[in-house]
Amino acid sequence: MKKISVLFVCLGNICRSPAAEAIFINLLENKGLTDGFIVDSAGTGSWHIGKKADSRMRIAAEKRDINILSRARQITSEDFEGFNYILAMDDSNFRNIQDLKNRTSSTDFASIKKIQNFRSVFNEQEVPDPYFGGDEGFDHVLDILEDSVSGFLKSIS
């Protein structure tokens, strides 16, 4: 059976996308589906390559028994050929992903979507970046992502 590959993308890959990745992995583990998936996250920017997720996001996620283990990386042209789904956290990153694809890749393998297309509870059209806010922003982002990531899994299961 061919694995389904999913890449979550935000700006720096230290807050939203690693949280979405960890939430998705957690959902897959709880449903016994991990063997059928490849899951990763990336940023459109290069500022944080190699760094762990923001400590505030890791702490907020750990309170929910979600472990964020990934290290930041930047999206590459190879990702368009290696992933079935590329999920952007907001409009700006969605445009950046599309621009990179148009400049570097001729493949239409990856389906590029906004994660909030899969929301069911929250009204936000984008996942807000909690980086410059207080701790409550990280909890709110996790709430939003638990909703939309769960909706995404339902849409492909």
d(CA 116, CA 132): 21
pLDDT for res 140: 97
pLDDT for res 77: 93
**Which residues form the domain of 17?**
4-156
Catalytic-residue membership of 79: no
Model pTM score: 0.96
Which of 44, 49, 137 lies closest to 91, judged by CA?
44
Catalytic-residue membership of 16: yes
pLDDT for res 87: 98
Catalytic-residue membership of 10: yes
Q: Indicate the number of domains in the chain.
A: 1
Catalytic residue among 40, 79, 129, 147: 129
Catalytic residue among 15, 16, 40, 79: 16
pLDDT one digit per residue (tens) for the chain, 157 residues:
689 999 999 999 999 999 999 999 999 999 999 999 999 999 999 999 999 999 999 999 999 999 999 999 999 999 999 999 999 999 999 999 999 999 886 777 899 999 999 999 999 999 999 998 888 999 999 999 999 999 999 999 8
pLDDT for res 134: 86
d(CA 63, CA 17): 18
Q: Which residue has the tokens 């929910």?
A: 64
Q: What is the CATH number of the domain that holds 19?
A: 3.40.50.2300
